[in-house]
Chains A and B, each alone.
Chain A
Amino acid sequence: MDEKLKPAVSAMIDGLEATLIEFRDQISMVVAPEKIVEACRILHDNFHFDMLLDETAVDYWPQETPRFNIIYQVYSMKENLIIGLRTSLVGIHPHIQTIEGIYPNANWHEREIWDMFGIYFDGHSDLRRILMPHGWEGFPLRKDYPLGYEEVQFTFNSDEINLHKPYAKE
């Protein structure tokens, strides 16, 4: 771990009871979901982590507790350091606070997480679907959502698949 990261890491461990994961020289801090806004505020104001690079989510179905993990990557332009943050959520329709107030570009990232995973962000200014059509049902990137693939046509099943394929009329 980089020496310059130590102050930020120890502030998080002491103040917010975060745990540290180090894998392949990359740092990840696990925080409780209620404390995520405070963690981002500490990193942004005290340690100059001013750019949010990425915000994404993972689904661990069929494991129910925790079911989802949200991962943030924040970057400090001055010091050239990256810290990853992780929180875990339980339940089918979980809620978490938005960090749009600290990093404005979390707006579209959180809309995408809502669209793909169904995680609701409290306090978001404009939470609606971004990639799927307006009235789509379901959350595609969850592990219990089917891939939706069409059976491949070989010569032995080509005719029966053709019968069911919805070709367009004029």
Chain B
Amino acid sequence: MGVEQKLGHLGVVTMTLEQAINWARSNSMWPMLFGLACCAIEMMSAQASNYDMSRFGMELMRASPRQSDLMIVAGRVSQKMAPVLRNLYDQMPDPKWVISMGDCASCGGVFNNYAIVQGVDEVVPVDVYVAGCPPRPEALIHGILTLHHKVHGEKLAKWS
């Protein structure tokens, strides 16, 4: 933001289009309700009054995939749920991001067996992994801020 330091007192801000769009996208990301198991309770705790997530722009949790841009996969994904997950991911409009919350979504967690998909990145592409079983609400917020940081670095040329 070079020129605005000289013109700041005139009320003018300059920045590139990329920075403007990335800033708008990261500050009003709406998560989709995808709480599956125990991590969902910590996600609800993060949304509630003690560790408020609406400070970061995530005021509403949209139930409909058509109206959300962030999918927080919170909890273990079983073999029966995996096609449903992929279906919902496909229904979300671009731009979309995925946070894999917790150990079970990142790598299968404690459950290394026939019934659990070993890592949700076998089903959808993941942007940020948050570790913990379940991760504390502060850890989830750290993951979301990491995602915001990543979005700030996205380039115009990559969008189709």
Interface residues of A (CB under 8 A from B): 132-133, 136, 140, 145-150, 152, 165-170
Contact = CB atoms under 8 A, between A and B. Distances in A.
A71 to B, nearest CB: 23
B4 interface: no
A150 B112 contact: yes
Contact of B125 (A133, A145, A147, A170): A170
Contacts of B52: none
Interface stretch (B62-70, B116-124, B148-156): B116-124
B114 A140 contact: yes
B80 interface: yes
- Give the interface size bracket for B toward A: 10 to 19
A168 B114 contact: no
Given A133-B79, A133-B80, A150-B108, A168 B124 contact: yes
A146 B118 CA distance: 16
A168 B113 contact: no
Given A140-B115, A149-B113, A165 B108 contact: no
B123 A168 contact: yes
B122 A166 contact: yes
Interface of B: 79-80, 86, 108, 112-115, 118-119, 121-125
Given A165-B122, A168-B124, A168-B125, A132 B80 contact: yes
Contacts of B112: 147, 149-150, 152
Most buried by B among A136, A145, A149: A149
A25 to B, nearest CB: 34
A146 B114 contact: yes
A123 to B, nearest CB: 27
Contacts of A145: 114
A110 to B, nearest CB: 20
Contacts of B108: 150
Nearest to B119: A165
A64 to B, nearest CB: 24
